[in-house]
């Protein structure tokens, strides 16, 4: 089975989502009904032709806005396609 390669167009980045913890460090479980409108994290798997952002590369972990991406599923894997201006930070 061949692996599909994703090549983002223009100023976009493709990331695989990293699920956030469902409980706090002290062990308090956060219910699904709690507001989860907070930034998300993901691992960069492909980078387009970034003009304004030079320090993002494959393998980086990035933080992005809750509403700043498009979801796609390819070969059973979930990906987010994000415009580079929607990225908030790189986690080092």
Question: pTM of the full predicted structure?
Answer: 0.77
Query: In this predicted model, what pLDDT tens digit does every residue of 27-69 receive, in sequence order?
Result: 676 655 554 556 689 999 999 988 777 789 999 999 998 888 9
* 12 token code pair: 């976009």
Beta strands (DSSP E) in 1-92 are 12-18, 40-47, 61-64, 70-74, 77-83, 87-91
Q: State percent of the chain over pLDDT 70.
A: 77
Question: What single DSSP character describes residue 85?
Answer: G
Q: What domains, with CATH codes, occur in the chain? A: 1-19+37-92 (2.30.33.40)
Q: What is the pLDDT of residue 63?
A: 93
Q: Which pLDDT band holds residue 1 (cuts at 50, 70, 90)?
A: very low
Query: Dihedral (C-alpha) 49, 55, 56, 61: value to the nearest 10 degrees?
Result: -170
Residues in Cβ contact with 19 at an 8 Å cutoff, skipping those fewer than 6 apart = none
CB 12 within 8 A of CB 81: yes
């Amino acid at each position: 089975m061949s692996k599909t390669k994703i090549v983002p167009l223009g100023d976009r980045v493709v990331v695989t989502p990293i699920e956030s913890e469902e409980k706090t460090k002290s062990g308090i479980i956060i219910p699904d009904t709690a507001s989860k409108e907070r930034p998300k994290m993901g691992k960069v798997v492909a980078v387009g032709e970034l003009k304004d952002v030079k320090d993002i590369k494959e393998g980086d972990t990035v933080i992005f806005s809750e509403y700043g991406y498009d979801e796609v599923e390819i070969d059973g894997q979930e990906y987010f396609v994000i415009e580079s201006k929607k990225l908030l930070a790189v986690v080092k």
